[in-house]
Amino acid sequence: MKSQFYQKNDHNKPQVIGLFLYITGLLLGYMIPVASAAQTMNFSYVTGCAEANVDPACLKCGIRGCMKCPNLILVDDRRCVDDCPTGYTEIWSSAPDYMGRICYPVGLSGSFLTALVGVTLGAILCFTMLLVAASLIRKKHRRRLIRNVLIDDKITRHDFLRQLSELRPQSEYFLQMLNDTRRQIRKLHLSGDSEAASIYNPVIRDLAKILILLNKPVELLHEPPHDWNRL
């Protein structure tokens, strides 16, 4: 009988050992995260915290900085203050990373007010730059119009005839450019690209006008054309 009892216990021994190891694993799995979390939180309960960026009057610190002050704590930068500044109200904290009374921003105050002022100033600056750019473009366009109106006053008949005499030896090249441009326009029309062909029309007009002036007798050239400088 005794021998059978020991044999039965020997038969259950692996099950007991397995149950013991299972319970031990559960305990270790629970204790290790708890210890790690406690080490991560690393609260300091002494007056003043070790971090250099924490208010010296802070009574308790957490991983985000000061958590508790003697009187009030400003939520924006976690500074310890005696009274809430303008734009803040005194309330009891319900957040886990603040303890006691805190100064909470109300209305247009704190970081929101700073952001709003920055956006407003940026919009004003952009609007001013657009106005300046529009003014410069308008002045440039106005100068161009004035120059086009007074362009015939910038060259005398003598200078005009002198320039024509210098260009007359190049008449063949102007004629060749005119013919080449006409052939190019003809090809574009045959290919059905009339829009591209219309781009060459001002070139044809200017080349034809130059050739007319070069072949015209000097006696018939009284005044330079108003667009001579553009040509």
Please report, in angstroms and rounded to a whole number, the separation of the first and last CA atoms in the chain: 130
CA–CA separation, 187 and 193 (whole Å): 9
| Last residue of one domain, picked from the residues 125, 148, 173 | 125
Whether residues 163 and 116 share a domain: the answer is no
How does pLDDT run across 128-144, given as a tens digit for each residue? 899 888 888 988 888 77
Q: What is the mean pLDDT of residues 197-205?
A: 85
Whether residues 121 and 161 share a domain: the answer is no
Look at residue 44 and give its three-state secondary structure: strand
The confidence score (pLDDT) of residue 43 equals: 39
- Please say whether the beta carbons of 221 and 213 come within 8 A: yes
The confidence score (pLDDT) of residue 46 equals: 42
CA–CA separation, 197 and 176 (whole Å): 18
Instruction: Identify the residue whose tokens are 């004035």.
Output: 146
- Which residues, including other chains, have CB under 8 Å from residue 211's CB and lie 6 or more apart? 171, 174, 175, 178
Four-CA torsion 128, 132, 137, 140, nearest 10 degrees: 170
Domain hosting 199: range is 157-230
Top mean-pLDDT range of 1-5, 6-10, 171-175: 171-175
The confidence score (pLDDT) of residue 40 equals: 38
Least trusted range by pLDDT, from 22-31, 109-118, 119-128, 205-214: 22-31
Q: What is the mean pLDDT of residues 41-53?
A: 50
Establish if 140 belongs to a structural domain: no
Q: Kindly give the residue spans of alpha helices, DSSP state H, lying in the chain.
A: 2-41, 110-149, 157-167, 171-190, 194-199, 201-215
Least trusted range by pLDDT, from 73-87, 151-165, 184-198: 151-165
**Does an H or E element contain 73, and which?**
strand 72-74
Establish if 133 belongs to a structural domain: no
Establish if 138 belongs to a structural domain: no
CA–CA separation, 209 and 156 (whole Å): 19
| Last residue of one domain, picked from the residues 81, 102, 125 | 125
- What are the structure tokens assigned to 29, written together? 């799995």
| Last residue of one domain, picked from the residues 83, 103, 125 | 125
The pTM assigned to this predicted structure is 0.32
The confidence score (pLDDT) of residue 26 equals: 54
Establish if 210 belongs to a structural domain: yes
Q: How many CB atoms lie under 10 A from the CB of residue 118?
A: 10
Q: Quick check: 35 pLDDT over 60? A: no
Is 156 or 29 the better-scoring residue by pLDDT? 156
Q: Quick check: 33 pLDDT over 60? A: no
Q: How many domains does the chain have?
A: 2
Assign 214 a pLDDT band (cuts: 50, 70, 90): confident
Q: How many CB atoms lie under 10 A from the CB of residue 76?
A: 15
Is 12 or 49 the better-scoring residue by pLDDT? 49
Whether residues 172 and 111 share a domain: the answer is no
The confidence score (pLDDT) of residue 159 equals: 82
Establish if 148 belongs to a structural domain: no
CA–CA separation, 134 and 140 (whole Å): 10
Is 156 or 13 the better-scoring residue by pLDDT? 156
The confidence score (pLDDT) of residue 42 equals: 40
The confidence score (pLDDT) of residue 146 equals: 65
